[in-house]
Amino acid sequence: MLDSFIPGADIRRVVPPDLTQAVVSQVTDDHGHLHVLSRFGDARWDLSPYFEQSNVPESMKTIVWPMDIPLMLLNDTKAALYAWFKEGRPGYQAAIARTI
């Protein structure tokens, strides 16, 4: 995601990638077909496929993003969590759904 970052580049020219359609969660049915549950641009992320425990309430398996904050703050927050969840921090494994 940050591959296009160039140290010393003019920050006004850095355009973040459009992650709106990036898949956050998906499931595979019995026939091997993928079904997307959540995309980056959704107002609600369903992380239930990443929970194996049956005793975790549904409310802890989703992220409902607030719509009453500035769009740039919302998108930056989503991008940070998405990158941490999908890629992890340098030198560490990716985050698990429960820590998100």
For residue 49, the enclosing domain spans: 19-99
- Is residue 45 domain-resident? yes
Burial class of residue 90 in the structure, from the number of CB atoms within 10 Å of its CB (0-12 exposed, 13-18 middle, 19+ buried): exposed
Q: How many domains does the chain have?
A: 1
**Is pLDDT at 10 greater than 70 in this prediction?**
no
In tens, the pLDDT along 40-68 reads 999 999 999 988 877 888 888 899 999 99
- Is residue 7 domain-resident? no
| Mean pLDDT across the chain | 83
Provide the strand spans (E) within 16-87: 23-28, 34-39, 44-46, 62-64
- Is residue 9 domain-resident? no
- Is residue 46 domain-resident? yes
pTM for this entry: 0.73
- Is residue 44 domain-resident? yes
